[in-house]
Amino acid sequence: MSNESPLRHLGPNWYATVMGTAIVASAGAALPVRPPGLRGACEVVWALSAVLLLALLTARAGHWARHRDQAGRHLADPAVAPFYGCLAMALLAVGGATLSVGSAVVGESAAVAVDATLWVAGTVVGLAATAAIPYLMVTRHRIAPGEASPVWLLPVVAPMVSAALGPALVPHLPAGQWRQAMLLGCYALFGMSLLATLLILSAVFSRLVHHGPLPLALTPAMFLVLGPLGQSTTAVNNLADAAHGAVGGSYAGAMAAFGVLYGVPVTGFALLWLVLATAMVVRAHRRGMGFTMTWWAFTFPIGTCVTGAAALARHTGLDALSWLAVALYVLLVAAWAVAGARTAAGLVSGRLLAAPRPVPVALAPTMARTT
């Protein structure tokens, strides 16, 4: 029996469990309906996400301290390096959920302090990943033309998460320059992430058309495309809410109109991609797709579509968007429950922290890691 430390193969993709858990809480708080018991359930899930974040930060620190060689291999591996964007989004997601859900538990002042700290840390880490991972892809990684992957979105979507969650902090800043700088800074993060996403999406779709479906284990990553779509819709509408206390009335009105005019078409495309991604997952399942950590791609991206639809419902008053948000939330909770249960079972058995099995050389750059 191997005496290898279980931390050795604990990759940055594990932060997806934090993201996927925190979004269940924050998306539930954003819903336009309030069924009995929802608030309490969201508070429990928020607390779980905070515990998971602390546990993973500690475990990953141990990984870097004891297995620096393996950490270096992760950065050199084009299939693993993009997951460093998950650290930023985990920090941001827990911070945002602390303010939107946890404030009733810890108090508003403490929730604001936690959210501000995690937002700053997550934004700094996200900006570093947004610049560093593409740099490594260009200078160090060797990627063939047909190996574009939705996983490439992970580092560049992190600034979009900052843009979506930053507006909640605007009212807690001093009026005037501070609020305006925060608001416009979030718009800059929105633009940075959006343009980078468009570049990657074209490469991903070209890869699908010219080289066929993704490997079975990587197929759930198709859902990652929903992340920037739903998160950008959430961002522009949250920014519109924050604009009234930060900029002049004419700008605030334009931002509110932009939130709807941008969000509705993008939500339409997100629904189209949801159908395509679901069809690809069903196809992969029929061909024997088993559980891997890529199943967590079913959670956070769908959660961003919930918050996006809920924001549009809030600004338009359209009942259809409210019901869309509710339907997507039911899907999110189901996906989270399945991924969480399968992950817990994999941890108990030790399979998910075991050394990854060798894959064929032809698939190695694009196969999803299971650790």
Taking only the tens place, the pLDDT of each residue in 32-46 is 998 999 999 999 999
CATH domain 6-353 topology: Glycosyltransferase (1.50.10)
Cα–Cα distance between 164 and 304 in angstroms, integer? 10
Residues with Cβ within 8 Å of 150's Cβ and at least 6 positions away in sequence, in order, are: 204, 214, 221, 222, 223, 224, 225, 297
Q: Which of 215, 348, 336 is nearest to 287 (CA)?
A: 215
Contact between 12 and 74 (Cβ < 8 Å): yes
**Looking at the chain, how many residues does it have?**
371
**What's this model's pTM, rounded to 2 decimal places?**
0.92
Cα–Cα distance between 257 and 120 in angstroms, integer? 28
Confidence of residue 360 (pLDDT cuts 50, 70, 90): very low
Cα–Cα distance between 92 and 38 in angstroms, integer? 22
Q: Once rounded to an integer, what is the mean pLDDT over residues 334-359?
A: 86
- Six-digit token pair at 308? 């996006």
Cα–Cα distance between 155 and 135 in angstroms, integer? 11
Residue 343, pLDDT above cutoff 70: yes
Residues with Cβ within 8 Å of 361's Cβ and at least 6 positions away in sequence, in order, are: none
Cα–Cα distance between 109 and 117 in angstroms, integer? 12
* pLDDT tens-place string over residues 74-86: 888 888 999 999 9
Q: Which of 328, 198, 201, 199 is nearest to 267 (CA)?
A: 328
Own/partner long-range contacts of 253-260 (Cβ < 8 Å, ≥24 apart): 256/315, 259/311, 259/312, 259/315, 260/312, 260/315, 260/316
Q: What share of the chain is helix, strand, coil (3-state, %, to 5)?
A: 80, 0, 20
Q: Looking up tokens 């604990």, which residue turns up?
A: 10
Q: Once rounded to an integer, what is the mean pLDDT over residues 252-264?
A: 96
Whole-number pLDDT of residue 71:
81
Cα–Cα distance between 77 and 288 in angstroms, integer? 26
Q: Once rounded to an integer, what is the mean pLDDT over residues 61-86?
A: 89
Residue 137, pLDDT above cutoff 60: yes
Whole-number pLDDT of residue 366:
39
Q: Which of 132, 126, 134 is nearest to 185 (CA)?
A: 126
Contact between 230 and 305 (Cβ < 8 Å): yes
Cα 335 to Cα 51, 222, 302, 329, 339, distances in angstroms: 20, 14, 9, 10, 6
- Six-digit token pair at 335? 């996906």
Residue 237, pLDDT above cutoff 90: yes
Contact between 258 and 236 (Cβ < 8 Å): yes
Residues with Cβ within 8 Å of 236's Cβ and at least 6 positions away in sequence, in order, are: 190, 255, 258, 259, 262, 263
- Name the amino acid, one letter, at 368: A
Q: Provide the mean pLDDT of the chain.
A: 92
Cα–Cα distance between 279 and 281 in angstroms, integer? 5
* pLDDT tens-place string over residues 206-219: 999 999 999 999 99
